[in-house]
């Protein structure tokens, strides 16, 4: 069903079928105290890394507008995702070196929306996000991006590290924004490039970091030692833009 532009699957059997069939599910809302097959749904969701939100029954009633939800609502993606090759093809069509943004576990929809908005403005050809343990292009993300998500190619992949390997085989230089690297403005970012930004809490995964060709850092002169993911992304994306424009 569709409510206010949001896509839902309601009811126990439909949600189980969606999980079993590999449907892209952003999160699952479960009524507190629900029993029976709800436990099976919760187990399937956990196995797939899908976030579960336990809520009061009245919250589910509100979302489903009174429809018989049986204690469970799955939020499914209404966004059309592309393949990584589509992103590279867009760069080729524009006769530009690929400029790709790789997000390793961004969970906050407002962060993702803000990142996509900046990426679109900076001329990024596409964004790559993981299928699990990360937010997808939800209505909240679309709103936070001020509509930029509708103009930005976004690919969902099963394995970020493996995707990095494939991009490197196609001639991209992959760099991560993390501590302990070269100051970002000293790095040559004009080439065929993919930039990795880590999640809000855990940052960039160890294996993903090891796969990168270089690490660049943002100097921190104040009393805090890190920036919000969307702020860090904005700084790096516009450094790429600056270097590419020769300024």
> Domain containing 18 — which CATH number?
3.30.1330.30
Q: β-strand 72-76 against 6-10: which pairing, if any?
A: antiparallel
Q: Which of 55, 76, 97 is the endpoint of a domain? A: 76
Instruction: Kindly report the number of other CB atoms within 10 A of residue 190's CB atom.
Output: 14
Domain count along the chain: 2
Angle, helices 84-93/160-169, rounded to nearest 10 degrees:
30
Q: In the chain, how many H helices and how many E strands?
A: 9, 11
**Do both 163 and 223 map to the same domain?**
yes
For every residue of 134-168, DSSP letters joined together read S--S-HHHHHHTTTGGGSSEEEEES-HHHHHHHHH
Instruction: Kindly report the number of other CB atoms within 10 A of residue 20's CB atom.
Output: 9
Query: Residue 181 and residue 219: Cα distance in Å, rounded?
Result: 10
Tell me if 144 sits within 8 A of 113, measured CB to CB: yes
> Domain containing 228 — which CATH number?
3.40.1280.10
**Tokens representing residue 196 in the block:** 């990795």
Q: Which of 76, 99, 131 is the endpoint of a domain? A: 76
**Do both 173 and 201 map to the same domain?**
yes
Instruction: Kindly report the number of other CB atoms within 10 A of residue 235's CB atom.
Output: 14
**Do both 7 and 129 map to the same domain?**
no
pLDDT in tens, the chain (247 residues): 333 335 788 889 889 988 887 777 888 999 999 899 999 999 999 998 899 999 999 999 998 888 889 999 998 876 778 999 999 999 999 999 999 999 998 989 899 999 999 999 999 999 999 988 888 887 778 778 887 887 899 999 989 999 999 999 999 999 999 888 999 999 999 999 999 999 877 788 899 999 999 999 999 888 877 788 999 999 999 999 999 998 6
Q: Which of 76, 107, 139 is the endpoint of a domain? A: 76
**Do both 26 and 95 map to the same domain?**
no
**Do both 121 and 215 map to the same domain?**
yes
- Sheet with 153-157, strands from edge to edge, namely 153-157, 126-130, 99-104, 193-198, 173-183, 214-217
CA distances from 198 to 5, 6, 24, 154 (A): 29, 27, 22, 17
For residue 43, the enclosing domain spans 2-76
Measure the CA dihedral 210/216/221/222, to 10°.
-50
**Do both 118 and 190 map to the same domain?**
yes
Measure the CA dihedral 101/102/105/108, to 10°.
10
Q: Say which residue the tokens 């937010």 belong to.
A: 135
Instruction: Kindly report the number of other CB atoms within 10 A of residue 62's CB atom.
Output: 12
**Do both 37 and 150 map to the same domain?**
no
**Do both 102 and 64 map to the same domain?**
no
pTM (two decimals): 0.73
| Length of the chain, in residues | 247
Q: β-strand 193-198 against 99-104: which pairing, if any?
A: parallel
**Do both 61 and 116 map to the same domain?**
no
Q: Is 95 left (phi over 0), alpha (psi -120 to 50) or beta?
A: left
**Do both 114 and 223 map to the same domain?**
yes
């Amino acid at each position: 069903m569709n409510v206010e532009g949001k896509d839902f699957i309601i009811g126990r059997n439909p949600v189980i079928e969606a999980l079993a069939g590999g449907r892209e599910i952003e999160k699952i809302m479960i009524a507190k105290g629900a029993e029976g097959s709800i436990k099976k749904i919760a187990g399937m969701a956990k196995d797939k890394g899908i976030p579960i939100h336990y809520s009061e029954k009245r919250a589910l009633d509100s979302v489903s507008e009174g429809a018989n939800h049986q204690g469970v609502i799955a939020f499914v993606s209404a966004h059309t995702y592309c393949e990584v090759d589509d992103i590279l093809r867009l760069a080729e069509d524009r006769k530009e070196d690929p400029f790709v943004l790789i997000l390793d576990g961004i969970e906050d929809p407002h962060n993702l929306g803000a990142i996509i908005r900046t990426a679109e403005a900076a001329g990024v050809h596409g964004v790559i996000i993981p299928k699990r343990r990360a937010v997808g292009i939800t209505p909240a993300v679309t709103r936070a991006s001020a509509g930029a998500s509708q103009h930005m190619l976004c690919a969902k992949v099963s394995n970020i590290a493996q995707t990095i390997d494939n991009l490197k085989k196609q001639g991209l230089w992959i760099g991560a924004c993390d501590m302990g690297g070269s100051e970002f403005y000293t790095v040559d970012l004009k080439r065929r490039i993919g930039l990795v930004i880590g999640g809000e809490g855990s940052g960039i995964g160890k294996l993903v970091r090891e796969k990168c060709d270089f690490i660049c850092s943002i100097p921190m002169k104040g009393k805090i030692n890190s920036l919000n993911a969307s702020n860090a992304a904005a700084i790096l994306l516009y450094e790429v833009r600056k270097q590419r424009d020769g300024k």
